[in-house]
Structures are given as C-alpha cells and as structure tokens.
C-alpha cells in the first residue's frame, strides 16, 4: 500500500457529508479560484473543488499538506511530470479495459482476451517504471513527510523483483493462443461433479505428456477422444474457464491498479492545482502566506493585508487589504456604509479560512486562525426560489439546515441575514439565534444593517464581540477599508442615494 | 414430558391438517393481507394453517409466547435462521438424489444430502446445547435433540456417512487437454498458475481476490463429465460399489420430529422477520398478558396492516380499556376519522394474541375469548339499498346464533345502508341484547344517539381539533383538544431556548 498524499492514516479525519457545498462555492466566489487552479483541466477542476470543499479539521493534517505543497511549489517540474505520466497512462488503459472483460464481445476468443489483459498490465508496469525513475532522480529534493513516505513506499513496492515477476507473466501470457496443451487438476464434488478446477500450466512442450503416457500406456479408458462436437465443446468450456480465471485475476489487479493510479492522479492533482494558483498569483504580484493554524478550541482570528482573492483574480489587480486582531471573540459584527466593502471583507475571511483548511496558502501577508469544524455561509439570496414560503421562512429554513449539520467550533459567515423582515423582528430573531450560537462555541461573522441588533449587542455583550465598520473619508468617499469601530446609526444609504439619484437629477 | 412440537404444547389436542380454513373475520380485519405478507417467500412451508388456528387455552398460548420471546433474542433467531437455510439446501440435495439421471449421480447426491443432514443436526445441537432456555418448548427440544444425536442409530449412520464423503472428496485427478483429446490421469499437480499470477500483485493490492471458478455449473452431467467419471470409476471401482450399498442401507434416514420442527419454527421466524421490518420503521410490539376475567387493556395500539403499508412510523396510536362490568363500547365520530382503523387494530391485536404472537401496542392485558366475530359493511359507499340490508342481516344472523357471553364481537357500521331511523331502532335492539348477553362488543356507528342508550355503554369518540381537522385519536368522551400558538422562529425550532438545547447536544 502506498500512503496517501492528502490524508494520513494516523490522523483520524472526520468526514462530513456537506450538502451546502454549492452555497459555499457561490457565496465565497470559490469558482474563480478553482478555475485558476485547474487551468482548463476539467479533472483538476473537479479535484480541487472537491478537496477544498471537504475541509480538514485536524491541525496535523493541515500542516501535513502545507509541507507537501511547499515541496511541490519548490519542485514543480517533478510534480508536473508525475502528473503527466499518470494522466497519459490512464488515457491508454481506459481503451484496454473494455476488451478484457470476460463477457465482452463473444466473437473475441478468451485467449485473445487474456492477451489483451496482459497488454493492459504491461501498460501499467511500464508506467510504474517511469514513475519510479522520476522519483529516483528527484527524491533528494523532498523534505516533507508526505512525499518522503510516498517515496519510501514506492521504493518498497516497485522493486526489481516486482518488475521481473511482472515481465515473466507478461511473457507467459502474451501468446497463449498458440500454446499446445493445458493441464488442469480437479476433485470430486457434490453429485459426483468435478470441482476445484485448478490450472496447473499452459504448455508448449509435449515431453511431459509423453512421459506420463508411458505410465498410463495400458489404461485405454483414460484417453477421451474429442470426436464429437459435444465433447469438443465441453473440453473448450474447461479451457475457457481457466482463461476466465486468469482474466479475473488480471482484472482484479488491474482494477486496483487503475483505482490506485486514479487516486494518485487525484492527490497529485490537488497539488498541481496549488502550483498553478501559486504561479498565477506570483506572476500578478499577489502576495501569499502559509497560514498559522490553531486548534479549534482556541478562538483566534488575526491577519495582515488580507484581500479577497476572487476579486483580485477577476479584476487582475490587488484590491483593498485589511488587518484584524479579533482573537478570543466568537462574534464579529460588521456594520457600515452600503457598498463599503463589507461583503468583500466577509468573503475574504471566509475564503482564507476555507483555503487554509484544505492545506493551501492564503491571500495575505499573515493569517492566523483556529480550525473551524464546519464552515457555513448564510447570505441573503437575491430572490426566494420557493414562492410557497415567505422569504423569512426560507432564511430560517436555511439556518435550520445549518444548525442540523453543525458541530461545536463551527463558523458561520452571515451576510445580511434576517434583513427580509422589519428591523424590530429581525433584531429579535438575530439576537436569539446569534447569542445561542456564540454561547455554544460557534464563531459568527455577521455583516448586518440591523443597527438595533448591533447596538444592543454592543451595549449588552460587548466583551464577546468585535465590532467593525466599513469606513469612509470625511468627504463621504468609501475607503473600502474595514476598521474596528462601534456601530453607528446611519448606514450611509444617503450617500448612494445622492450618487445615483440626486446627482442624476441635478444633471438633468 | 417428551418433546412433541415447537408450536403445540399438547399436539394431539389440535387437528391440524390441510382442511383448516381462513377464519371469516380475517378479511374484515385485514388479517388476510397481513398473513400473506408474513408468510411471503415461505410458501413451501405452508404456514397459513398455523395462523388460522386459534389456540384454546392460555397455557398453549404462553407456550408459544415464551418460544417467541426466545426467538426475539437475536442469538437463537440467527441459529434457527441458519438452520432453516441449511435445511433448505438439504431438501434440494435430497431432491437431486431422487430425480437425476445417472446412478452414480443419484447415489452421490444421496450421500451428500445425508452428509449435510448429519452436519446440520450436529451443528444445531452444538449451538443450542450451550444456551439456557426459559421456554418449556425449547427446554424440551434441547433435551430431545441431545438424546437423538447420541442414539446408536444416528451415531453409526453419521460416522459412516462422514467417512464415505471424505473418501470421495480425497479423489484428485488431472485433465490434460489437447486439441483433439483429453487425458485423465492421477498424478501430482505442478502448482496453481492463477495463484502465482495473483501473488505477483499482492504487494500493491491488499484487497483479497475471491473468485470461485464455476465450470459445468449445471447440476446435470454432460458427455465429457460422464466419460471423466467413468475413467475415475475404473480406478476406484470398490468405492463406487460401497456407495450403492450405503444408499440401500439407509434409505430413510430423516427423523420425523426434525422435519416437523423445521416447518414449525418458520411460524416464529416469519413473525420475527415481520416484526423486525416494522420495528425498523419505529413501530413497537409487545407480548400480551392474559386475564381470567373479561377485561381488555390495550395501550397505544395501532393497525398493523396499515403500519405494514406505511413507509415510516406516522400512525396514530390509541388506547382501548374495558373494565369489568363494561361490555359494550360504542365508537362514533366523523367519517374518515379513524374509526374503522381502530376497530381493525382491536380485532387484530386480540386475535394475534390468541395465536401466541406479540401484538401492536405498548402494553396489553386481555381475556381469552372463545371466538372473534366481525361484521364490517362491505362497501364504504353508503346508499339506501334493501338488497344490501338483507345480505347484512343474513351475515349478522349467523353471528348472533354463534356468539356466547365469552365471545368478542366487532360490528362496524351495521345498518348503514338503511335510514337513520331504522338503523337506530335495529341498533338499539341489538345493543340491548348484547348488554344483556355480556359478550364484549365494539360497536362502530355514525348514529351517535345509540351511545346514550344505557349508562353501561362505554362511549368512544374519534376526535377533531379546534379547526375541525381530524386527529385520528379515539378517546373516551370527556376529552378536548389544545391549540398552541407559535412564532415563526419556533416553527423551525430556532428560539434561543430550543437552539441552546439543540446545540448543547452536538459534538
């Protein structure tokens, strides 16, 4: 068994069946990041998306991936070559697999199928030899535990003896259809029928046969002449049975090897995605850092020069960066001007958190955060899909789903939740829900217009929360910087009104 | 006391032959559907008669209930389940030994079936000998089977069988297959090529390769097999002759009690399977208790046939209590309010108790009535129709002639096809008679005035809530519904209080 590059056996990672993946992808604009990782490779796209959305919850495992990723970035050519060898092999093997199924096209004889099957094995063995060669030449560059162990396993399994043995069988079975006779042994089973049929050998030489004939010379009844079609068919059935057995063995192993190569492609694929993203960011001058991971029981969130990577990729330039130190606080309330960068800010944290928990680097100069057991987003939907329930109903239904899937030490990114009702009612609901969440050790980062809510929390629960506000300059222009500040009443809607309506009125 | 039967305490008290018919009330109570479902896939055992035969005394019922309890314990169930599966295979082998073509084939199947039989019986004894049984039935069986396997007859037979079987399985032969001939030889094998091939990849593949090659899977012998066997026979003539003799010597080796046992335990297995299927959906069963006096107590009973059809546990459960001195229950209420379901649940639970099965309720106590009689209107369409009335009355007449003070009677919407006035008068007369007779009767009717006939009558009502929705709850009359106010957040269980509770339970 070759150890995985994404997981470690000794670390028992919890696996969650995440139903909210699509929401998370949309809300955090993950699509753009995954596309940068995939570089038009559909397989990489699927792989990276899946790995990122299945967040890790164990610190050791995140560090395990971080160190592999560092090795990969530093030795990107080796990794890209491995990925390409595996991809090519899988392309070739796919063509062969159908031909080797025992029930595939009756017109192809079983012996031909065996020959095809061994051809498939040949492709695999060939590919293993290439992988082994690449790794032999490059293993000295790796320092991460993951890649070192991987190399060790490869060395242990893909030995010279293994390759020799494989080649022996490739030889033995490559032209079975031309061999002279087959020797089979069996025992008597139920109802006197033969059972435990075993293939002794498929042989070219008849010398053995001559020898045993001497012993049985006078025993005529021991020879069955295949003079009738029935008898000949029966005999063929035994031969085909033996070939079927060989094919099953080949297919069993081939299936496993295929799966192994597929999973290797998947695992290396994730790191190839990491390399791609890293290269793209580097070329555009976007800074990155390996995040500092803290255990989930510690409440930590601290960063410098964090930016929204999706926005950066989209606009091809570095957007506004923000700093924060909100450790020991389970609640962050973000209020302030419309269009002031609140959603972008929320997204930048969510994105960094999810990238960190997949083992990737994050778009910041510095990022330190605790692991969240589950990551949820609750963003107001532009429109309510289900017209049967009111919009508030729909919101609460989603919250309810989140809570059903929640674990302690989860994090919820909320964007304008409970804005679908009056401020009074929204405040009551928000307070009930959010207080219950943070008291039970769920981190909540909440962008809201509910001033009444923010003010109440500020007055009553100040110690448990950090309050941030989207700023503006003295002349009313938005800075898109989010700074620590108490909530204040005006939401600067008038600014927008001024810009879009009043100024237009003036012009006309 | 010697073991007789696993179903009947004293077997000879019951005449159990193929002429046991389905009781008349089966259809009304949907017991016919239920029993069909319970015995499904067990047709070969012909189990229905066991469900049609009401037991006569509490001792007999408890004999079964105690055995059922043992089965309800997983350990015994799985032993008996395996035993049944093995016996099925045995019967198959036995059939081959009587129906196939070549002599050597028939003889060998006979030996194989005997070998299987001996091993099954020994295994069964081994497995149950270490168990401690509470039921009389299994204690008796345990003792009996031990003495059976230790009998000289069984010992001699099984030893010889095992010996013969081994001699045959030790025969190894080789086939050398050329284009135009096959040589049958007896020599040492060179090894197993497929194993060698498989081992080559063991290092990278830790999944065990498990493939059973089947050549000539048909039970029949084909031409080449025939020639191969003849070649072997030539080599082992003596052994083949011994086999023929063996068959003649032991032609009737099966024990009758074992063969009856295998059929009779299917009654328990099928019922346990049925219960477990429903238990998975959240339904509860309980073991009935019996009373010497004419009382009925069912707590949270439900309609088993309905539960069986539902995909998950959504059924409304109801109580039914009848104390001493009470004998007639009158159930009224809105149409489609669960009245018929209630009546069926009552009838089913009672009858299943009488044949020694756990029933669909949380707790129960019941008197062993001498018989169950039901009268359900054939048609839910209620039209005035004199032809139908006559048909109803004819059916009712038969029942009235047969009931005794110890009978259980369920009458569902009698006289529904006549006018309310007539229905009231006929009902009144009948109810007065039943009160006097003192038999237990559940009388379901839409004519609620009937419930006011006598103070002896117990009144039941199918309830509606404040907004006139049916609740399917059946209660004694002095009941009322409740309305809860709820806010939108509470609707989703999202108030502070309930959230705290929900969140404190997560990991």
**The pair of three-digit structure tokens given for residue B117, joined into one six-digit string:** 């039989």
Please tell me what DSSP assigns to residue A46. H
User: 30-89 in A: which are within 8 Å (CB) of B?
Assistant: none
Q: CA A331, CA B155: separation in Å to the nearest integer?
A: 80
Radius of gyration of chain A (CA): 33
Residues of chain B in contact with residue A239, where contact means CB-CB under 8 angstroms, are: 177
Q: Which tens digit of pLDDT belongs to each residue from B117-168? A: 999 999 999 999 999 999 999 999 999 999 999 999 999 999 999 999 999 9
CB contact under 8 A, B108 and A190: yes
> Among A231-245, A435-449, B430-444, B454-468, which is the least confidently predicted range?
B454-468
What's phi and psi for B328, nearest 5 deg? -115, 125
Cross-strand partners of A255: none
**The pair of three-digit structure tokens given for residue B486, joined into one six-digit string:** 């709820």
CB nearest A241 (choices: B108, B182, B215): B215
Closest CA–CA distance from residue A461 to any residue of chain B (Å): 15
| B347 closest CA partner among B381, B393, B302 | B302
CB contact under 8 A, A188 and B171: yes
Average pLDDT, whole number, for chain A?
86
Residue B58: pLDDT band with limits 50, 70, 90: very high
Q: Is B219 on the interface with A (CB under 8 A)?
A: yes
Closest CA–CA distance from residue B237 to any residue of chain A (Å): 13
> Which residue matches tokens 């190894």?
B172
Q: CA A354, CA A333: separation in Å to the nearest integer?
A: 20
Under a CB-based contact definition with an 8 Å cutoff, are residues A306 and A364 in contact?
A: yes
pLDDT at A149: 94
- Percentage with pLDDT > 70 across chain A: 86
Q: Is A331 strand, coil or helix?
A: strand
Tell me the torsion sign for CA atoms A98, A102, A103, A105.
positive
CB contact under 8 A, B204 and A239: no
> Which residue matches tokens 């000998």?
B129
- The 3-state DSSP composition of chain A as helix, strand, coil percent (nearest 5) reads 55, 15, 30
Q: Which of A193, A402, A431 is the best substitution to test chain B (most B C-beta atoms within 10 A)? A: A193
**CA closest to B96 among chain A residues:** A191
CB contact under 8 A, B112 and A191: yes
Task: With residue B37 as reference, give the H or E element that holds it.
Answer: helix B31-38
Average pLDDT over residues A401-405: 89
Residue B336: pLDDT band with limits 50, 70, 90: low
| B286 Cβ contact partners less than 8 Å away, ≥ 6 residues apart | B358, B359, B361, B362, B363, B364
B271-277 long-range contacts (CB < 8 A, ≥24 apart) are B271/B38, B271/B68, B271/B357, B271/B358, B272/B68, B272/B71, B272/B72, B272/B77, B273/B38, B274/B37, B274/B38, B274/B308, B275/B72, B275/B358, B277/B308
DSSP tally for chain B: helices H, then strands E? 18, 12
Task: With residue B443 as reference, give the H or E element that holds it.
Answer: strand B440-444
Size of interface A-B (CB pairs under 8 A): 240
CB contact under 8 A, B174 and A429: no
pLDDT at B474: 79
DSSP strand pairing (A366-370 vs A292-294)? parallel
CB contact under 8 A, A199 and B194: yes
pLDDT at B261 over 90: yes
Closest CA–CA distance from residue A494 to any residue of chain B (Å): 32
pLDDT at B422: 75
Q: CA A224, CA A204: separation in Å to the nearest integer?
A: 21
pLDDT at A503: 58
**The pair of three-digit structure tokens given for residue B392, joined into one six-digit string:** 């109803």
CB contact under 8 A, A256 and B204: yes
Q: Which tens digit of pLDDT belongs to each residue from A167-210? A: 999 999 988 888 888 999 999 999 999 999 999 988 876 554 55
Q: CA A53, CA A362: separation in Å to the nearest integer?
A: 15
pLDDT at A21: 76
Residues of chain B in contact with residue A244, where contact means CB-CB under 8 angstroms, are: 213
Q: CA A414, CA A426: separation in Å to the nearest integer?
A: 13
| A141 Cβ contact partners less than 8 Å away, ≥ 6 residues apart | A71, A74, A75, A78
pLDDT at B209: 77
Q: CA B299, CA B464: separation in Å to the nearest integer?
A: 21
Interface confidence (ipTM) of the complex: 0.72
Q: Which tens digit of pLDDT belongs to each residue from B352-383? A: 999 999 999 999 999 999 999 999 876 544 44
Closest CA–CA distance from residue A191 to any residue of chain B (Å): 4
User: 153-182 in B: which are within 8 Å (CB) of A?
Assistant: 168-182
Average pLDDT over residues B44-57: 92
Average pLDDT, whole number, for chain B?
87
pLDDT at A247 over 50: yes
Q: Which tens digit of pLDDT belongs to each residue from A63-89? A: 999 999 999 999 999 999 999 999 999
CB contact under 8 A, A235 and B488: no
């Amino acid at each position: 068994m070759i150890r995985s590059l994404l997981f470690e056996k000794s670390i028992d990672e919890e696996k969650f069946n995440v139903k909210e993946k699509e929401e998370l992808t949309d809300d955090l604009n993950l699509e753009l990041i995954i596309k940068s990782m995939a570089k038009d490779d559909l397989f990489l796209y699927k792989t990276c998306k899946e790995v990122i959305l299945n967040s890790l919850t164990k610190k050791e495992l995140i560090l395990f991936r971080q160190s592999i990723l560092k090795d990969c970035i530093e030795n990107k050519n080796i990794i890209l070559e491995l990925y390409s060898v595996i991809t090519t092999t899988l392309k070739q093997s796919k063509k062969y697999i159908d031909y080797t199924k025992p029930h595939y096209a009756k017109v192809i004889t079983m012996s031909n199928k065996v020959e095809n099957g061994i051809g498939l094995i040949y492709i695999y063995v060939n590919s293993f030899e290439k992988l082994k060669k690449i790794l032999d030449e490059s293993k000295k560059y790796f320092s991460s535990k993951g890649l070192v162990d991987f190399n060790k396993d490869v060395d242990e399994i893909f030995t010279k003896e293994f390759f020799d043995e494989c080649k022996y069988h490739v030889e033995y079975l490559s032209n079975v259809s031309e061999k002279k006779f087959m020797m089979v042994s069996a025992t008597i089973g139920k109802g006197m029928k033969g059972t435990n049929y075993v293939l002794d050998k498929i042989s070219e030489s008849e010398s053995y046969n001559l020898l045993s004939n001497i012993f049985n010379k006078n025993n005529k009844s021991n020879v069955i002449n295949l003079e009738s079609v029935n008898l000949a068919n029966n005999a063929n059935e035994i031969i085909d049975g033996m070939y079927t057995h060989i094919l099953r063995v080949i297919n069993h192993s081939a299936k496993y090897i295929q799966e192994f190569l597929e999973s290797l492609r998947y695992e290396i694929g994730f790191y190839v995605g990491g390399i791609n993203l890293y290269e793209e960011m580097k070329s555009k001058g976007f800074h990155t850092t390996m995040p500092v991971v803290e255990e989930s029981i510690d409440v930590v969130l601290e960063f410098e020069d964090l930016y929204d990577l999706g926005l950066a990729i989209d606009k091809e330039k570095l957007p506004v960066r923000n700093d924060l130190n909100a450790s020991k606080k389970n609640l962050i309330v973000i209020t302030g001007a419309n269009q002031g960068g609140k959603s972008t800010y929320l997204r930048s944290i969510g994105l960094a958190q999810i990238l960190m928990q997949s083992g990737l680097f994050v778009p910041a100069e510095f990022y330190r955060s605790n692991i969240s057991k589950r990551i949820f987003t609750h963003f107001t939907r532009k429109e309510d899909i289900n017209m049967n329930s009111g919009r508030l109903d729909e919101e609460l239904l989603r919250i309810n789903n989140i809570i059903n899937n929640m674990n302690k030490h989860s994090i919820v990114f909320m964007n304008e939740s409970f804005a679908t009702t009056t401020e009074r009612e929204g405040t009551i609901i928000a307070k009930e829900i959010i207080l219950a969440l943070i008291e039970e050790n769920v981190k909540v980062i909440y962008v809201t217009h509910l001033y009444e809510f923010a003010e109440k929390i500020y007055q009553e629960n100040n110690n448990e929360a950090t309050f941030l506000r989207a700023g503006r300059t003295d002349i009313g222009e938005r800075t898109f910087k989010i700074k620590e500040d108490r909530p204040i009443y005006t939401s600067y809607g008038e600014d927008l009104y001024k810009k879009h309506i009043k100024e237009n009125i003036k012009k006309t | 006391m010697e073991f007789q039967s696993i179903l009947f305490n004293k077997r000879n008290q019951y005449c159990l032959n193929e002429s046991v018919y389905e009781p008349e009330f089966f259809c009304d109570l949907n017991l016919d559907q239920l029993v069909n479902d319970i015995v499904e896939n067990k047709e070969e055992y012909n189990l229905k008669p066991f469900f049609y035969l009401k037991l006569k005394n509490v001792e007999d019922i408890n004999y079964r209930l105690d055995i059922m309890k043992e089965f309800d314990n997983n350990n015994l169930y799985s032993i008996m389940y395996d035993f049944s599966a093995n016996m099925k295979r045995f019967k198959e082998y036995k059939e081959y030994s009587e129906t196939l073509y070549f002599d050597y084939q028939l003889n060998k199947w006979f030996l194989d079936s005997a070998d299987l039989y001996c091993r099954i019986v020994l295994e069964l004894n081994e497995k149950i000998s270490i168990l401690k049984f509470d039921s009389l039935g299994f204690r008796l069986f345990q003792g009996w089977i031990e003495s059976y396997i230790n009998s000289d007859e069984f010992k001699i037979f099984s030893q010889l069988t095992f010996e013969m079987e081994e001699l045959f399985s030790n025969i190894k032969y080789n086939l050398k297959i050329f284009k135009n001939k096959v040589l049958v030889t007896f020599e040492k094998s060179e090894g197993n090529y497929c194993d060698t091939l498989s081992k080559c990849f063991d290092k990278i593949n830790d999944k065990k390769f498990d493939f059973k090659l089947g050549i000539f899977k048909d039970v029949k012998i084909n031409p080449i097999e025939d020639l191969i066997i003849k070649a072997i026979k030539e080599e082992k003539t003596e052994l083949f002759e011994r086999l023929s003799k063996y068959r003649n010597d032991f032609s009737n080796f099966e024990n009758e009690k074992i063969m009856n046992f295998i059929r009779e335990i299917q009654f328990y297995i099928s019922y346990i399977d049925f219960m477990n299927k429903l238990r998975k959906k959240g339904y509860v069963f309980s073991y009935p208790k019996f009373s010497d006096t004419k009382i009925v107590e069912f707590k949270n009973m439900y309609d088993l046939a309905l539960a069986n059809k539902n995909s998950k546990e959504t059924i409304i459960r109801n109580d039914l209590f009848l104390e001493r001195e009470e004998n007639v229950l009158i159930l009224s209420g809105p149409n489609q309010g669960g009245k018929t379901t209630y009546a069926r649940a009552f009838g089913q639970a009672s009858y299943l108790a009488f044949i020694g099965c756990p029933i669909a309720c949380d707790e129960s106590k019941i008197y062993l009535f001498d018989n169950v009689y039901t009268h359900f209107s054939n048609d839910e369409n209620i039209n005035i129709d004199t032809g139908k009335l006559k048909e109803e009355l004819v059916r009712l007449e038969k029942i009235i002639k047969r009931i005794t003070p110890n009978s259980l009677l369920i009458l569902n919407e009698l006289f529904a096809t006549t006018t309310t006035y007539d229905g009231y008068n006929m009902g009144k007369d009948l109810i007065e008679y039943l009160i006097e007779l003192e038999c237990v009767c559940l009388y379901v009717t839409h004519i609620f005035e009937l419930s006011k006939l006598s103070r002896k009558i117990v009144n039941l009502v199918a309830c509606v809530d404040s907004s006139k929705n049916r609740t399917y709850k059946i209660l004694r009359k002095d009941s009322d519904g409740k309305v809860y106010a709820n806010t939108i957040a509470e609707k989703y269980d999202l108030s502070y209080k309930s959230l705290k509770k929900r969140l404190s339970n997560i990991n």
